[in-house]
């Protein structure tokens, strides 16, 4: 069994903000797997799919970004999953817009949602997919930037990035192994 978690904020006003890349990507994964987010459990909106006989849980924590770890901890406990069977998708200001970076583990960096997850589950040893959002032409404080709406002209770039992140998460949940997923999807 695998868990795919997309980080974001649940209210409509945040739907198309940079901080919701994880929500957008996990939504894309649900579309590709033909499932809908119909259940609420463990402080998350959840969809359930099956890949090659394995159950896959897709989740969007509704705790808001800075408390994402609460939902993740509950989901791992409910489904009795080790953290290495989870992949988290989130926005990353440290990467150029539209760039993906997949890692098997690592620190939270500047991301409060990841800090919350690592703090709640007590480890940083779990795979993650970072979707780059930084635009060198925009010079505003990070907190204002991540909560800003994606510019219309950038929609295609971020749609492609979220689609690729969804494909990477699905490959991981299909059991392809994080090293294989990294080599297939980490492009310069």
Residues in the chain, total: 188
Other Cβ atoms less than 10 A from the Cβ of 142: the count is: 13
85 is in an annotated binding site: no
14 is in an annotated binding site: yes
**How far is residue 120's CA from residue 90's CA, in Å, rounded to a whole number?**
17
Do residues 170 and 35 lie in contact, with contact meaning Cβ atoms separated by under 8 Å?
no
- The tokens describing 91, both together, are 């926005």
Place of tokens 């406990």: 77
Q: How many CA atoms lie within 13 A of 82 on its CB side?
A: 2
**Residue in 19, 50, 111, 180 annotated catalytic:** 19
66 is in an annotated binding site: yes
149 is in an annotated binding site: no
Number of H helices and number of E strands within the chain? 6, 7
Q: Let me know if 111 is a catalytic residue.
A: no
Active site residues: 19
Q: Which residues are annotated as a binding site for tRNA?
A: 14, 64, 66, 112
């Amino acid at each position: 069994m695998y868990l795919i978690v997309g980080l974001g904020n649940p209210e409509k006003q945040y739907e198309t903000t940079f901080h919701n890349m994880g929500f957008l990507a996990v939504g894309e994964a649900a579309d590709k797997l033909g499932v809908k987010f119909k259940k609420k459990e463990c402080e998350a909106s959840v969809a359930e799919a099956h890949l090659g006989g394995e159950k896959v849980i897709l989740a969007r924590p509704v705790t808001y970004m800075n408390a994402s770890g609460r939902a993740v901890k509950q989901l791992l406990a409910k489904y009795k999953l080790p953290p290495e069977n989870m992949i988290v998708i989130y926005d990353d200001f440290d990467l150029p817009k539209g760039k993906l970076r997949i890692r098997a583990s690592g620190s939270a960096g500047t991301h409060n949602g990841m800090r919350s997850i690592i703090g709640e589950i007590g480890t940083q040893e779990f795979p993650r997919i970072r979707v780059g959002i930084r635009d060198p032409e925009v010079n505003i404080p990070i907190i204002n930037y991540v909560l800003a709406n994606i510019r219309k002209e950038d929609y295609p770039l971020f749609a492609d990035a979220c689609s690729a992140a969804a494909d990477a998460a699905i490959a991981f949940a299909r059991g392809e192994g994080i090293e294989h997923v990294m080599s297939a999807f980490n492009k310069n």
